[in-house]
Amino acid sequence: MIQQYIRGLKAGVPIGLGYLSVSFGLGILAVSLGFHVWQAVVISMLTLTSAGQLSGLYTMCIPGQYAEMLISQLTINVRYSFMSVCLSQKTDSKFKGIYRWLLGFFMTDEIFAVASMEKRVSRSFFFGLTAAPFFGWTIGTFLGALLGDILPERVMGALCIAVYAMFVAIVIPQIRTEKKLAFPVLLGVLLSTAFYYLPVLNKVSSGIAMTVCAVAAAVFGALVFPVKSEEQEDAHE
């Protein structure tokens, strides 16, 4: 068990270091929007999702937008449910009960990518894998929120770009591998720009706008560039 935990811990260190730098910008953004340091830290501890937190922070600044928050968070984070179900098929016999709930709680894109490479995922390996990302995300948020009260406003604004840069860093390598992914991304960018600049559309709240852009881009990609399953590829051959 200890060996598996250490192996998972080593695999999670690079993810944790990446989360540390990205969540630093998220902490600064939270403070700039009026959140206290402890509030930013608690949010990061309880919701380990970058895009979800980014959308949630803006939505929480507008009182009474509970329906909007529900829709936007469901749209953004539903993929983690599918990742959790997929990964649960590879867990060992001891990975059950409350551990399944914890698997879903700690699930992120990067953690799923590393864990899915295992033939069998043990509890020790998985929780070793999630340790560095969880603490990296939390500590980074704390440091960013703490320094957000000290750093000049121009520096805070510049560091907040790190949150958006993370999404660019995730998308660009995928587009270089699969050129067709550029079209759904471009559609999402165009729709987001329209919601920001065009009359009437710029009155729509950020959470709903983000949801519409995400769903539209995903549906477009699924319809125009469907991914064939292994069975379909075998049948085609």
- pLDDT tens digits, 136-167: 999 999 998 888 767 776 766 666 666 566 66
Structure tokens belonging to residue 189 = 């960018």
Render pLDDT for 169-220 as a digit per residue (tens, 0 to 9). Answer: 667 777 887 888 889 889 988 998 998 899 988 888 766 777 788 788 888 8
9: confidence class by pLDDT, cuts 50, 70, 90? very high
157 vs 25: which has the higher pLDDT: 25
Predicted local confidence at residue 139, as pLDDT: 93
Contact predicate 3/125, CB 8 Å: no
State yes or no: pLDDT of 57 exceeds 90.
no
Predicted local confidence at residue 135, as pLDDT: 94
Structure tokens belonging to residue 126 = 């998985």
64: confidence class by pLDDT, cuts 50, 70, 90? low
The percentage of the chain sitting over the pLDDT mark of 90, rounded to a whole number, equals 16
Contact predicate 107/80, CB 8 Å: yes
Which range (17-26, 43-52, 63-72, 78-87) has the least confidence?
63-72
